[in-house]
């Protein structure tokens, strides 16, 4: 399912993979049963390829990793969170038809 450019993160490695990262990370909080999550998955993959080497793109399955989802108050999915130098700086919730341009805008806003 995931491309080589998308990192699968878990409760166990979220701190090391995202919160200790220098730079920008985009984390897609999703679940297998979530239709809108499946709908935006190709966009997440495209952004991971497009920004490879500039932005870390990760996915966290909220069913398997509830502690991290609860910690960041994820109440509906898909939720895409932006972390800059390990700090949560922005969030996009839902599968808007313009999701790619919305996410690209947020990436550009937070890239150095």
| Active-site residue (options: 9, 26, 27, 34) | 34
Distance CA 34, CA 21 (A): 28
Specify whether 37 is catalytic.
Answer: yes
| Active-site residue (options: 25, 37, 41, 74) | 37
Q: Do residues 28 and 62 lie in contact, with contact meaning Cβ atoms separated by under 8 Å?
A: no
Q: Do residues 65 and 8 lie in contact, with contact meaning Cβ atoms separated by under 8 Å?
A: no
Q: Is the peptide bond before 78 cis (omega within 30 degrees of 0)?
A: yes
Distance CA 63, CA 59 (A): 12
Specify whether 63 is catalytic.
Answer: no
Q: Can you tell me which residue has the tokens 């985009």?
A: 26
Q: Indicate which residues carry an active-site annotation.
A: 34, 37
């Amino acid at each position: 399912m995931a491309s080589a450019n998308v990192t699968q993160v878990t409760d166990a490695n979220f701190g090391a993979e995202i919160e200790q990262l220098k730079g920008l990370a985009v984390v897609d909080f999703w679940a297998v049963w979530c239709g809108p999550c499946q709908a935006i998955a190709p966009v997440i993959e495209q952004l991971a390829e497009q920004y490879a080497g500039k932005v870390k793109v990760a996915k966290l399955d909220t069913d398997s990793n509830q502690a991290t989802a609860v910690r960041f108050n994820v109440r509906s999915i898909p939720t895409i969170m932006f972390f800059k130098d390990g700090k949560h700086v922005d969030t996009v919730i839902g599968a808007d038809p313009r999701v790619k341009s919305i996410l690209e805008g947020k990436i550009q806003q937070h890239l150095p």
